[in-house]
Structure 1
């Protein structure tokens, strides 16, 4: 019984670490979407740069889990648009726009939500197994 309990506890801890990582990922995606139209207020200045979460393995209850290690800026080029009246326009009248693609962010959000739900199901299944095991032992 102790082995069953500890293995489901470890499973729950690993899934919980993944829940936290996906939750952090969703916050980064939401920030990217919120700033997808943010341009610089200074002429020729850089707009908001898309942020990308970086994950790393981490020890959780003696097993490998996952955690967000850091957030890095996406180094892809900025888009430009011709808006000579914009305060952020350069001398040629072009404004740099964020390198955020709302479609990519929406797809990343959907993927993060599905991963979150999958890990939540792991936790619920492990709890159900614990409950069922206890019921069997009581009989």
Structure 2
């Protein structure tokens, strides 16, 4: 694996985790929006000519199909004729745990990216001599 390939792989991980954090932020912002469904994204391996490159990319955004929380409040503007309305299915604890996981993964990729950059710089210094 070349240093430039390693940087590309690490960069793809950071980019993917950044997009994941964006979806988590959107979920948190809409936690109180009636009827909102939590968005999730899974990563998939990048394949080039039938071989995995080591890089990842976010797959399609999916809506969490778990049941929405039904609340009986006939005075709520979103309540139907039966007096019930649907809350979002966003669980703040899950979102915060996912955000922490994404942050740590991003930081791990960033540290490795910095290490590869230092190695590349050291190699260039050796070649200049």
* TM-score over 0.5 for the pair: yes
Aligned to 1:87: 77
TM-superposed CA distance for 1:82, in Å, is 2.0
Contact preservation (8 Å) 2:74, 2:84: yes
Whole-Å Cα distance in 2 between the matches of residues 27 and 58 of structure 1? Answer: 21
Moved over 4 A (4+): none
Q: Does 1:17 align with 2:45?
A: no
TM-superposed CA distance for 1:54, in Å, is 2.2
Residues 24-71 of structure 1: CA distance to partner in whole angstroms, max 9, x if unpaired?
1011101101100001xxxxxxx11111112211148x8221001210
Tell which structure's C-alpha radius of gyration is larger.
Answer: 1
Match of 2:64 among 56, 63, 74: 74
Long gaps (5+) in structure 2: none
Whole-Å Cα distance in 2 between the matches of residues 106 and 119 of structure 1? Answer: 20
CA RMSD of aligned residues (A): 1.6
Aligned to 1:133: 123
Aligned to 1:48: 36
TM-superposed CA distance for 1:132, in Å, is 1.8
Whole-Å Cα distance in 2 between the matches of residues 117 and 74 of structure 1? Answer: 27
Residues 104-133 of structure 1: CA distance to partner in whole angstroms, max 9, x if unpaired?
101101110111111111110001111222
Long gaps (5+) in structure 1: 1-5, 40-46
Aligned to 2:29: 34
Q: Does 1:124 align with 2:122?
A: no
In structure 2, the CA distance between the partners of 1:35 and 1:68, relative to structure 1 (3 Å rule), is same
